[in-house]
Structure 1
Amino acid sequence: MLYNLIITPIETIIDWVFLFISKKFSALGIISAVAGVSLAMNFMALPIYNIAEKIQDKERKISLKLAKQVKRIKQTFKGDEQFMMLQAYYKEEHYHPLYVFRSSLSILIEIPFFIAAYHYLSHCDALFGASFLFFKNLGLPDQTFSFVLGHKTFYINILPIIMTLINIASGAIYTKGAPAKEKIQLYGVTLVFLFLLYNSPSGLVIYWILNNLFSLCKNIVLKMKHPGLIAHGFLSFLLLAVSLFVFLFKPGTSLWKKWFIFAMAISFTIIPYCILFIKKLKFFNRFNNPESLTNENKKRNLYIFLLSAISLGLLCGFTLPASTIATSPIEFCFLGNTPSPFTYIWNNLSIFLGFFVFWPMVIFLLFGDKVKRYEAMIFLALLITTLFNVYVFKPDYGVIDPRFCITVRLDRVPFYYFILPVVIFIISIITFLLFEKYKKQFIITFILISIGVSELFIGVYKSSYIKKEFVAYKPVYEQQQKKEIPSKEAIKPVYNLSKTENNVIVLFLDRAISSFFPFIVEQFPNLNEQLSGFRYYPNTLSYGLYTMFGYPGMVGGYEYTQDQMNERPDVLLRDKHNEALLMMPTLFSQAGYEVTVANPTYADYGYTSTASFFDKYSNIKGIDTKGTLSQIYKNEKKIDYDSNMDLICKKQFVNFILIEGMYPLLRDTLQKFLHDDSIDKNVFINSFSDLYYLSELTDFTSDKPTYTFIGNETTHEPTPLLYPDYDVPGVYENGKTGPYKPCNSQDGQEYQTNLGAILQLGKFFDYLKENDVYDNTRIIVVADHGYFDLISTFQNFKNPTIPASFNPLLLVKDFNASGPIITDNSFMTNADTLFLAKENLGLSDTNPFTNKQFEQKKDSVTVWMGYNGEESVSAVRNRTQFTLDKGYTVKDNIFSPENWKETSYKEFLKNQKE
């Protein structure tokens, strides 16, 4: 409880900063996240430290003033007489002996920040395997030097020693002129830190070195004139540098976000001038005169602050968690080692009381009347705005489960969602000022009490429902635990191939990256044998950046590219997508093939399951395998990410509640990086287990020719895989990507995920060979699009991420093909999949839905950027056309920048008419 109240709020902020910087600035390495956390923590704590140091300095001066007389009393009197004399003297000087603890105030404040950083960074998986300069593993002690004594090797960690020397230098400046007692105290703490951190992970020690450097610079700056202006200038420079970095080196960031970051940097830079201007306004001076406030007004402002803070804590810590769990209580029962869902409510309550009550109260007590007044005003406005954000400006969060993995876009909301919260915040502040001026704060107090009571009532009502459901579910759960754990032997085949007739298999790997494939084969040369007869087509384009745009053409042919789908404005996009999805199954079933379709993407735009979607087609078997084998896989590999599901839920619950109350413009950005890697690993396993058990899912019982489509999202979930088999998720380590040199850890994980998928396909193809089914099987491995990676293949482009995003994997093996993998540089698109699958099989050349002849239109291909918020089905469910804008006309060699010509949809339509 106390840890959650005091430490966890700080640790949560550390987590946000670390995740944000490590993902947004991954090119700078993980050390940038450590530096970012250090800067954030120091600047966040700086005002508290400064006021604590002022109090400390005041205590120091009083102690020096009293020291002479105290010494005389102690020399002259003994025992009770000495005690009475000292008490009388202290009373005369308005001093209390307990005030001596004020000299330790800055250390007391530093302790929670130290504990939070120590706990977070010493348990941070991202540091393991990450390197910086000659420190090879930031997750371990640096062990820079070693020596052997007898039969034992001893290591010297240089980083803690550097940290101590910097700390001593900083302390020497800070304690100049201070009493010996204070110097001993500070140097004693320095030695304690050396002892505590000596065998700590080097990433944590680097963090503390950066803290000490910051402290050293702060102490130097404080000795200068106008330290506040110097600090503001540094921060302004830092923010402008970040803005410039985003403009120059983050091409994937949308333009409005770049300008927003730049505007924020400029706004911060001009804040001092804005404050000076506002202070000169008569209107401002009329309402901003804290010195004129009566004690009664100050007391009322205290009530407003406390009631606002407590209401915020209750809303975020009790009402919202209880309301969320009440939507599906059973999902939050018996997670990991936590049986009761109420644990998550109490956890949230203690953390948010820390966020909104404990730490704000510390600031309230330490600072003067002006800050107290501002704090009351801001907390009132924050509460009112948060209530509107939660209950009025609320997006569709999709299906919420204990992982809180939000899969929908949160910025697809009306424009007024971005304007009105700001207006409400400003109105709340004006209301506070008016009520304060006319001494009507009791009205605000009454409203705040009403809000608090309402929050309690809702929370209690929801909690009673949760308790009822939990009690009813408990015996059901206990009965389920007695059931036998499934094993590999329980897997039943769903793909029925033929030993005597032709088989056509289309293996769809979502977001599989073409440029990785040569490196994968170089790292595992035996793939040449496993994938014998395959042709690799590196010079391949997709028609879209996202599945929504690239998938229809991949499964339906050239009539289902974005611009061609727009040619039929009287048909819903959903229906056209369904046509594309049904194209090959229909053609093959009409030709007498036994057809199986597994895990098609966006069937009916998500309105129905795969099985129900294909119910009306008696000759097409539709199945969903995703996630059905994940528990069997986990049992075999002896991994259990669900054992810490309660810990993930606790952490992600806090993040989700904050996203709910967040300013709507920031929600989507935050939810993209505020998720746990364990979530990704579970999602990854849901798909990877399908590939891992592909042989068990396949038999050879069909006596007819077969067409099998297998959709899989393994390559869509970048996950570090353990060397050398790459079939178990782990922690990313540098140097485990063979000949491929990733530009950052994200890129390395992308490579490992693609590698893991290809290795499993190699095993499956061996299985086909062992059963004499390889030669009579045509196999196509294809992706819907590439990804925004800074891949070396496209380094000659101004923005390498654009062509990389349009370059999907395409591998093809024809009947009876053999020999090592052949690289074919023919110009291809993934819309050729239809033609490759049906080639020379006597299938119809007519689209069964439009009655048009199939055509391969690739003399000149136009691909579209698709940055219009339409990359999710929810955005286009009831639309008949895509909103196309910027695109590229591409021909021949996609690796040549000269072959990419920027165009617009308007220009495209004009050229089509000509």
Structure 2
Amino acid sequence: MLNNLYTIIIYPLVQIIEIVFVFTGKIFKNTGFSIVGVSITVSLLCLPLYAVAEQWQQLERDIQKKLKPKIKKIKSVSRGDEQYMLLSTYYRQNNYHPVYALRSTFGLLIQIPFFIAAYSYLSRLETLNGTSFLFIRDLGAPDGLVPLGGGINLLPVLMTLINCLAGAVYTSGFPLKEKVQLFGMAAVFLILLYNSPSGLVLYWTMNNVFSLVKDIYYKISYKHKFKIVIFLFSLVCIFLSLYIMTIYKGNFSLRLLLAVLFIVVSLVPWIIPLAKKLLSCLPRRVCIPVYTGFLDFMVPMAALWVLTGFFIPSLLIVSSPLEFSYIDNYTTPVFFIANTAKQSFGFFIFWSSCLFFLFSRKVKNIFAVAAPMVLMFALCNVFLFAGNYGIISVNLVYNSSISHGLPEIIRNLAVLLILALFVLILYFSRKLKFITVAALLCLFSITGLSAYHIFLIQKEYSASREYHNNRISELTQVTPIFTLSKAGKNTVLIMLDRAVSVFLPYIFDESPELYSVYEGFVFYPNTVSFNGYTSIGAPPLFGGYEYTPREINKRDEVPVVIKHNESLLMLPRIFSEAGYSVTVTDPPYPNYSTKEDLRIYDPYPKVKALVTDSVYTKLWIKEHDINFPSTSDILKRNLFWYSIFKIAPPAFRQGIYLQGDWCAPVSSQKTTLTLNGYSVLDYLPKLTAVTDKEINTALIMVNNTTHETSFLQAPEYRPVLNVTNYGNSPFKKEMAYHINAAAFKRLAEWFEYLKEQDLYDNSRIILVSDHGPEPNFVTKIGLPFNVDQFNPLLMVKDFNAKGNLKTDMTFMSNADVPYLAVKDQIEGPINPFTGKGIDTEAKKSPLYIAISGSIHLADPMTTTFMLDPKKDYYVHTNIFDPANWERAEKW
């Protein structure tokens, strides 16, 4: 019960505090200033509430002053029941009830939920630990500034003095009861916060400073207080526009548009009074619409609640229920929908209703008009401007960047403006009830769709129980899952998803010892992939040239999902049918499922297929005693932000998403995602069993460490909660560099283990990626696409190869990998599905590169990829020479 109340009442305020903390931190690059920014923002947001509280308190004082003489007389001449009856009659005659006295405490009550929210957030914020600010040595601990008797905390005392001063100013001329109440609360806060982290005390001290300034201003110029609020609001908007243009990174056109929008918003409060004067010239029946009721406000807000709390989360999860099942201690994904619904209820129902009832009729009218307007904006953004961001992970990180062109943003804003004008026309025409009826129909529709989604989710979850029971569940230790032979031959193929080829020289130069550790390896930098994303780039890697996008499209009688599965099965079948002991881990998108559906290997009992990604994450975190958030914690927090992201205009989505951090203060959420693959690489020595039997083995492994970006602690590039050493590479501030360096270092440790176990020389090892990164980190050759994205990693160590790492500029593609894996081992290798031989003859002609290929998984019934010769290219000989790239439409 208490947890539900916290989620509904306090959690929305925590999220407001968190988002302000994040963005002020990005502006000032200092945690202390982030706390100050949070205090100022919360105080500004509370100003309207304080204004309402002040009105109620003043009303109570006036009534008490008016009734006091008569009450005093009644109490002096009567006792007991007679006094009670006389006072009750007197109160009723004056339309008053003693319970109304609570109105005088409203200003204090406002502070309580904000205090609880700030306390729950700042008292547990890891980034405060060890962070200094001005004269405070550690924001995560009591200040202990006075070195007497073990240290006296000075900041809480200063906070209390400012609080008392603000109270003295505010209660000047007030009854003694109100003064005692305020000074008593100041003492309570001193006791509560004395041993609290100084970051939390700093927050409350700044609140008191702001309160003092506010009270002084009210005393001096009470009648102009609304103008000062408008001025401060406009100042914040102008400051945000300056931040976007000078500090915020992103597309210039987008930044310019956002900056202009904030400037326009800053002018709106000053334009409204002018608009009122102009409207006053119109006929009265047009200017003054009838008062709108609570239902006109609440029905759209209820629809927003269902949209963000149920519909959007269920729409995401229903696309892959298995992926969101059995996460940590939560079995059914319906839990995460219910949790998001509670958070959304707090935002759109509880707090919005509180605000609606607090304000005057005029403000209620504004709320009642704004609610359907926001609902229409949300529906428009969800269904008409959904965006194309690629595949999203269970940790809610997209596999591509969030970006929108200026034309799309302008179209979106134009549509929203038309919708806003439509609502205003209905309002001034006294026909807002039509919008309310439409919102009610919308509420019923999305409620029904949400219920249907939840039914499908629960149905697939129930069907998945048997599958889950066959998987590795809670681990207490790491045990071997594959075997390599000392006496036979071992073929190891490791696909490092999105590994960056162009980073390799910089990683090895930063850690020169790697040159000798990677003994016998040949690095092929002049390698091309056939697409920039896994869904189309991985099939050639596993299946060879028969599974390039162009060749897949030639077999237009076979669904692409079947051809995709063939590519994943080809090498395991070839090796197992030749008598090899075969292990496969984490194949990409079997059966086009984002959660590994290993049933495609069921017809091949000699192939051992396993899921390792995320299996070892919790154990790794436990063993290393680092407080990374779990996947369930990330979902519980970010699924609501995902809903806000979807209903927001495209212009603001990049700022909400924040490269997968979702407005979190640290990137540890992304580090958790990195850990899903990193933990596997780190445990490789423990996952490797050694046998003296003369058997041949094949290990085909996929690892996502290089796909999930996060900063790691240099020079070893290991996961930590707060990174302090970024290394000395030119790319030290690129998360992609960190994860690539981590992968090569953990593999180096495994190679050392293989050498110790006499497994290295008799092993052929291929390191390859399906594609490169989206941005061009290194290659700048003037082509209209990012060459680095089509430049995958390729490194090969053959049996008994010696010498330090070598570089070979031979023209290669990742479709060469199957041939490299089987050559000199399998005589006359053929594709068991097509009967065609496995070779590299296709490289004798220019290769068709699908620049245009979709980043989504295709519909299972689709037989071809959507390729565009106007965007696609042929390439040959050297991918770093722009003359070797030619548009496909010219062929």
In the superposition, the TM-score normalised over structure 1's length comes to 0.70
Of the structure 1 ranges 79-88 and 668-677, higher mean CA displacement relative to structure 2 is found in 79-88
| Contact 1:569 1:881 survives alignment (8 Å) | no
Q: 1:684 aligns with which of 674, 680, 685?
A: 674
Aligned to 1:654: 640
Contact 2:711 2:738 in 1 (8 A): yes
Letter in structure 1 aligned against 2:110: I
Find the partner of 1:268 among 261, 265, 289.
265
Report matched runs for 1:495-510 at 5 Å: 499=487, 505=492, 507-510=494-497
Deviation of the 1:158 alpha carbon: 4.4
Whether 1:4 and 2:7 are equivalent positions in the alignment is yes
**Larger deviation: 480-489 or 343-352?**
480-489
The amino acid of 2:678's aligned partner reads F
Change (3 A) 1:121 1:686: same
2:355 maps to 1:369: no
Decide which of 423, 428, 431 is 2:426's aligned counterpart: 431
Matched, 1:674 2:662: yes
Q: Distance in 1 between matches of 2:865 and 2:141?
A: 57
Look up the match of 1:308.
Answer: 300
Distance 1:909 1:467 in 2: 50
1:49 maps onto 2:35 in alignment: no
Distance 1:196 1:173, change over 3 A: same
Contact 1:531 1:762 in 2 (8 A): yes
Matched, 1:732 2:724: no
Question: How has the CA–CA distance of structure 1 residues 456 and 831 changed in structure 2, closer, same or farther, with 3 Å as cutoff?
Answer: closer
Return the letter of the residue paired with 2:141: P
Q: Superposed, which structure 2 residues align to 1:872-911 within 5 Å?
A: 878-881=865-868
Q: How far apart are 1:285 and its partner, in Å?
A: 4.7
Which position in structure 2 is the counterpart of 1:765?
751
Partner residue of 1:627 out of 613, 620, 638: 613
Q: Is the 8 A contact 1:19 1:673 kept in 2?
A: no
Letter in 1 for 2:366: Y
Q: What does 1:454-853 align with in structure 2 at a 5 Å threshold?
A: 491-493=480-482, 499=487, 505=492, 507-512=494-499, 530-531=517-518, 547=533, 625-627=611-613, 629-630=615-616, 637=623, 648-659=634-645, 661-663=647-649, 666=652, 670-671=656-657, 672-674=660-662, 680=670, 683-695=673-685, 696-697=687-688, 710-718=701-709, 732-735=721-724, 747=735, 753-754=739-740, 756-777=742-763, 779=765, 781=767
Query: Which amino acid letter does the alignment assign opposite residue 427 of structure 1?
Result: F
Alpha-carbon distance between aligned partners in 2 of 1:585 and 1:722, rounded to the nearest angstrom: 37
2:307, 2:136 → 1: CA distance? 45
CA contact (8 A) 1:412 1:869 kept: no
Q: CA deviation at 1:227?
A: 1.2
Paired residue type of 2:351: W
What is the letter of the counterpart of residue 232 of structure 1?
A: F
- How has the CA–CA distance of structure 1 residues 541 and 238 changed in structure 2, closer, same or farther, with 3 Å as cutoff? farther
Distance 1:349 1:521, change over 3 A: closer
Q: In structure 2, what is the Cα distance between the partners aligned to 1:786 and 1:608? A: 22
Greater mean deviation of Cα atoms: 419-428 or 526-535: 526-535
Q: Structure 1: how far apart are the matches of 2:316 and 2:210? A: 42
Question: Are the aligned partners of 2:629 and 2:668 in contact in 1 as well (CA < 8 Å)?
Answer: no
Gaps of 5+ in 2: 781-785, 829-835
Which residue pairs with 1:860 in the alignment? none
- Give yes or no for contact 2:499–2:772 (8 Å, CA) kept in 1: yes
State the distance in 1 between where 2:317 and 2:798 align. 53
Partner of 2:188: 192
Distance across 2 between alignment mates of 1:34 and 1:382? 30
Asked if 1:141 corresponds to 2:141, the answer is yes
- Please say if residues 768 and 795 of structure 2, whose CA atoms lie closer than 8 Å, have aligned partners that are also in contact: yes
Q: Secondary structure at the match of 1:711?
A: strand
* Residue of structure 1 equivalent to 2:237: 236
Per-residue CA deviations over 1:480-509 (Å, capped at 9, x if unaligned) read 69999667686442x7567466x6655443
Change (3 A) 1:521 1:644: closer
Give me the CA root mean square deviation. Answer: 6.7
Local SS of the residue matching 1:717: coil
- The alpha-carbon deviation at position 686 of structure 1 amounts to 3.6
Tell me, yes or no, if structure 1 residue 103 matches structure 2 residue 104: yes
Contact residue 853 and residue 866 of structure 2 kept, 8 A: no
The answer as to whether partners of 1:777 and 1:815 remain within 8 angstroms in 2 is yes
Q: Could you tell me how far 1:239 is from its partner in structure 2? A: 1.6
Counting matched residue pairs gives 858
- Name 1:897's counterpart in structure 2: none
Distance 2:130 2:493 in 1: 37
CA contact (8 A) 1:141 1:157 kept: no
Q: What is the rounded CA distance, in whole Å, between the counterparts of 2:597 and 2:94 in structure 1?
A: 83
Which residue of 351, 365, 370 maps to 1:378? 370
Cα 1:286–1:15 shift into 2, 3 Å? farther
Identity percentage over the alignment?
A: 28
Q: Give the deviation of 1:722 after TM superposition.
A: 9.2
- The answer as to whether partners of 2:496 and 2:705 remain within 8 angstroms in 1 is yes
1:108 CA drift (Å): 0.9
* Whole-angstrom distance in 1 between the partners of 2:389 and 2:35: 31
| Residue identity matched to 1:674 | W
Shift of 1:15: 4.0
For 1:290-369, list aligned pairs within 5 A. 292=288, 297-298=290-291, 301-313=293-305, 316-317=308-309, 347-369=339-361
**Residue 148 and residue 544 in structure 1: after superposition, are their counterparts in 2 closer, same or farther (change >3 A)?**
farther
For structure 1, which segment, 763-772 or 93-102, has the greater mean C-alpha deviation from structure 2 after superposition?
93-102
Q: Residue 898 of structure 1 aligns with which residue?
A: none
Corresponding residue for 2:831?
A: none
Q: 1:481 to 1:114 in 2, by over 3 A?
A: farther
Within 1, Cα distance between the matches of 2:438 and 2:73?
57
Q: Secondary structure at the match of 2:429?
A: helix
Which residues of 2 match residues 382-421 of structure 1 at below 5 A?
A: 382-386=374-378, 420=415
Q: Is the 8 A contact 1:492 1:697 kept in 2?
A: yes
- Amino acid in structure 2 at the alignment position of 1:42: S
Q: Is contact 1:312-1:383 (8 Å) kept?
A: yes
User: Deviation at 1:768?
Assistant: 1.8
**In the TM superposition, what whole-angstrom CA distance separates every residue of 1:289-312 from its partner, at most 9, and x where no partner exists?**
77x56xxx43x5233224433444
Query: How far is 1:269 from its partner?
Result: 3.1
Summarize the Cα distance change of 1:882–1:334 in structure 2 as closer, same or farther, 3 Å threshold. Answer: same
Determine if contact 2:529/2:791 at 8 Å carries over to the other structure: no
State whether residues 680 and 719 of structure 1, in contact with CA within 8 Å, keep that contact through their aligned partners in structure 2.
yes
Cα distance in structure 2, aligned partners of 1:486 and 1:32: 42
Separation (CA, whole Å) in 2 of partners of 1:85 and 1:582: 89
The CA distance in 1 between the partners of 2:797 and 2:692, in whole Å, is 22
Moved more, 274-283 or 367-376: 274-283
SS in 2 for 1:715: coil
Counterparts of 1:316 and 1:840, CA distance in 2: 51
Whole-Å separation in 2 of the counterparts to 1:579 and 1:401: 21
Contact kept? 1:785, 1:807, Cα under 8 Å: yes
* Structure 1 runs not aligned, ≥5 long: 797-801, 858-862, 895-900
| Cα pair 1:310 1:356 within 8 Å, conserved | yes
State the distance in 2 between where 1:26 and 1:553 align: 44
Deviation readout 1:844-885 (Å, 9 max, x if unpaired) = 9xx98997575899xxxxx99x8x996556699733247769
Find out whether 1:203 has 2:199 as its counterpart.
Answer: yes
Contact 1:514 1:809 in 2 (8 A): yes
The alignment's TM-score, normalised by the length of structure 2, stands at 0.71
